[in-house]
Structure 1
Amino acid sequence: MGMTKRAGYQGTGPGAITPDGCAVELYARLPVGTEPDIVAAAVPPGASILELGSGVGRVTHALVERGFTVTAVDESQEMLDRIRGARTICSPIEDLDLGESFDVVMLGSFLVHAADVEVRQALLRTCARHLAPGGCVLIQREGEGWHMNLPRERIDPSGFTVRVVSAEPIGDGANSVHVEYEFPDATWTQTFLSRPLTKDQFENALAEAGLTVAAYLTDDGTWVRSRLAGGEGSPLPHSS
């Protein structure tokens, strides 16, 4: 049974489209990128990871190959059907309550920029709710000025073009963002809602969920390791 499309989110192109406008076939084609390396450098080897918004397992599979135990969560069963080697759970992230805790909770794909503030708060509460003592939450943020100087495009080394076409204000600080992915044999589009966050706004959002920044993991500040405020601190990688 398909889920209801999220208001303001849509996608076009071959194959199944998820409630937030993501195309399953598109995400199955996208390269892994640097995310698994960033995660592996930030947490202890063999950590248990709750990956929120896993999609087709683009990052999941690379983490499993590195020896992590991954529980992958996504609201799209079509996405989860592509995942191998990890436990999968089909659920909206904001409603998730497994009654379990994990060494690491991952909130990637810029989900922290949800346009609906209540949804963002619920996502971060889900992160905190599933965090083991001394564990950490890894969060992916949008880059500085990501909504500005549009349109812009990038040609991936693998041969496709990703084009951020527009980010139109819809009120209350949120934008409707339109992105195109052009491959030699197919084109996909996605329209979604996103709320830009300054560093202070991001850190205040964490604080509302009982979290605090432990470290910014990348020079551009797009990956962050956080922990429970007043907790034992986030685990650090084991030295080799």
Structure 2
Amino acid sequence: MTDERREGYDGTGPGAITPDGCAVEMYERLPIRDEVEVIAGAVPPGASLLELGCGVGRMTHPLVEQGFRVTAVDESARMLERIRGARTALSPIERLDLDERFDVVLLASFLVHAGSLAVRRGLLETCRRHVAPDGCVLVQREGEDWQTNVPRERAIGESGLVRVESATPLGNGVNRVHVVYEFPDARWTQTFPSRPMDRPEFERSLAEAGLTVDSYLTEDRTWVRARPTAA
């Protein structure tokens, strides 16, 4: 069972596969790490929060439990079927227009590294369009060596393993990243185009969308809080 794929994206394995190659069943197995702790520590308690690319709700559900008023967005109806306790919206992120503003807009999962520059601009413009004038945008970036330190792997819970097998240059600054997820009873793969960005390029891309870095929230600078640029 698959949704229509985005160009350059692929995924294999049991169950539904989303347009960007994500396996719904596999994402239901991924544990939460420190993401919610970082988010909750950077924004006001009980804030209204627009989560762009919510997936099956790995971050959505603990954010709701902490009292945030979450609107969860994804382009896959199969992902949104798993969301509980939050308002949902089915849409590609870069085309989203809810005609409302939020205290916090969240763009996690390295989505800002989209291979297409047009998509990246669309993602950040969506963030800017939906953030309140006194609100903030939280962005999760790749680590500095995320696409050069390959192959590498880490454990998923007690029995799973995720392995970034390769990041093969496609040209024009884009790599084709291949990731494997292995569990005792199932194996999934995801392949997608990704554009590495150093800190100056990342900050320029924010500026083009009318956003300015307020602070880097983690020592490795993978989590960033940005605010609308003052007129």
Report the TM range for the smaller structure's normalisation: over 0.9
Q: Measure the CA separation in 2 of the matches of 1:157 and 1:53.
A: 22
What is the CA deviation profile of residues 117-169 of structure 1, one whole-angstrom value per residue up to 9, with x for unaligned ones?
Answer: 01100100000000112100000000011111321111234321110000000
Q: Measure the CA separation in 2 of the matches of 1:153 and 1:190.
A: 14
How far did residue 30 of structure 1 move? 0.3
Q: Measure the CA separation in 1 of the matches of 2:131 and 2:118.
A: 20
> Letter of the aligned partner of 1:26 in structure 2?
M
Large movers: runs of 4+ above 4 Å: none
Which structure 1 residue ranges, 5 or more long, are not aligned?
232-240
Aligned equivalent of 2:41: 41
> CA 1:3 to 1:14, structure 2 compared with 1: closer, same or farther past 3 Å?
closer
> Letter of the aligned partner of 2:172 in structure 1?
D
Give the number of equivalent residue pairs. Answer: 231
| TM-score, length of structure 2 as denominator length | 0.98
Matched, 1:128 2:128: yes
1:42 counterpart SS class: coil
1:205 counterpart SS class: helix
Matches within 5 A, 1:46-85: 46-85=46-85
Matched, 1:90 2:127: no
> Letter of the aligned partner of 2:19 in structure 1?
P
Q: Measure the CA separation in 2 of the matches of 1:2 and 1:98.
A: 27
Matches within 5 A, 1:18-33: 18-33=18-33
Which structure 2 residue ranges, 5 or more long, are not aligned?
none
> What is the percentage of aligned positions where both structures have the same residue?
66
1:25 counterpart SS class: helix
How far did residue 3 of structure 1 move? 4.4
Q: Measure the CA separation in 2 of the matches of 1:2 and 1:100.
A: 31
RMSD: 1.2
Q: Measure the CA separation in 2 of the matches of 1:185 and 1:10.
A: 21
